Structure 1
Amino acid sequence: MLLALLIGWIVFSYLFAEFAPIIFIGIVYLIGYLFLCLWEAVKLIVRALAWLMARTFRAAALALRQGAYGLRLGMLFLFYLVDEWRRGPAEEQDDGTFGDERVGDQDDAEDRGGPAPRDPYEDALATLGLNSGFTLSDLKRAYKLAIRFAHPDAGGSAAAAQAVNAARDLIARRHGWK
């Protein structure tokens, strides 16, 4: 039995002396490989978190920017809404003007003793060259003739074309044709 133990010990020592360094080196490489895998996994997780945080901050910045645009637009709308509320409603008069556009002129002319301004309806008739008793077709014909000469493309001016359009609209409104 002692001989078997001695032979076993010699074989074990020989095998251990031959293969132990290879086994230890393999174990060291295995541990190094595991640490390398762990390091790459940590780097991947950190990169993923950094990417996620960058996307989150970019989305938050975009939302804040869009919110600022919306807030600015809302404030502008509110400003104009309050301004219109402060002005009050405009009331259309018989002659097609709104509010006190013509009233002040008439009062001033009468106070100075001068002639009262002409009726806008009469001015519109004169602009289109119409006499009383005209029909809708007469109005259309007179408008086409007047706009042909007043249009800026035909040598007229924008103000003249606007005056012709305003005259036609005023006459049509007065007669209920529009």
Structure 2
Amino acid sequence: MILALLAGWIVFSYFFAEFAPIILLGICHLIGFLFLCLWEVVKLIARALAWLIARIFRGAATALRKCGHGLRLGLLFLFYLADEWRRGPAEEQDDGASDDEGADDQEERQDRGGLPPRDPYADALTRLGLNPGLTLSDLKRAYKQAIRLAHPDAGGSAAAAQAVNAARDVIARRHGWK
């Protein structure tokens, strides 16, 4: 029995001496391979997290940029709304002249009871509040005052401002100032 044990020990020692370095080298290569796989997995997770964080920040930047445009438009809307509120409701000015300059002669005759149409010069003088013996400085002063009231930015209307401009042009042409 001792001889069998001794023979077994010798065989075991021989095989261990021959194959142990190969087995240990194989185990070391297996551990290295496992660490290499683990390193690649860690790199892949890090890249995925970096991509995800970049997408989140890019989406947030896009949302903020779009929100900025919307905010700017909202502020512009509020500015114009406050400006209109500050002006108040538009008051219609009735200074005796018609704002509809495109009426033909037939309609004017019906409005005036069959009388011929009015003189444009007389209408222009009435609109600006002037007398026939006016000077250029009188015309300028009356025009500035009338346009200040009739201008759309001051609560007037575009048609009223056009009528004041047309009245100034008629008077200036009649006197040769234009």
TM-score for both structures, normalised by structure 2: 0.56
Residue 106 of structure 2 corresponds to which residue in structure 1?
130
Residue 9 of structure 1 corresponds to which residue in structure 2?
9
How many angstroms apart in 2 are the aligned matches of 1:2 and 1:78? 106
Identical columns (%) = 64
The code of the aligned residue for 1:61 comes to: A
What is the deviation of 1:129?
A: 3.8
Q: How has the CA–CA distance of structure 1 residues 5 and 123 changed in structure 2, closer, same or farther, with 3 Å as cutoff?
A: closer
Structure 1 regions of 5+ residues with no counterpart? Answer: 92-98, 107-118, 135-162, 167-178
Q: How many residue pairs get matched?
A: 112
Residue 120 of structure 1 corresponds to which residue in structure 2?
98
What is the deviation of 1:66?
A: 1.1
How many angstroms apart in 2 are the aligned matches of 1:122 and 1:16? 118
For 1:102-134, what per-residue CA distance to the aligned partner results, in whole angstroms no more than 9, with x for missing partners? 64xx7xxxxxxxxxxxx3278543xx3425459
Indicate yes or no: 2:27 matched with 1:27.
yes
4+ aligned runs moved over 3 Å, structure 1 = 121-125, 131-134
Structure 2 regions of 5+ residues with no counterpart? Answer: 112-158, 163-178
TM-align CA RMSD: 2.6
How many angstroms apart in 1 are the aligned matches of 2:46 and 2:100? 84
Matches within 5 A, 1:12-91: 12-91=12-91
Query: Does 1 or 2 have the higher relative contact order (CA < 8 Å, sep 6+)?
Result: 2
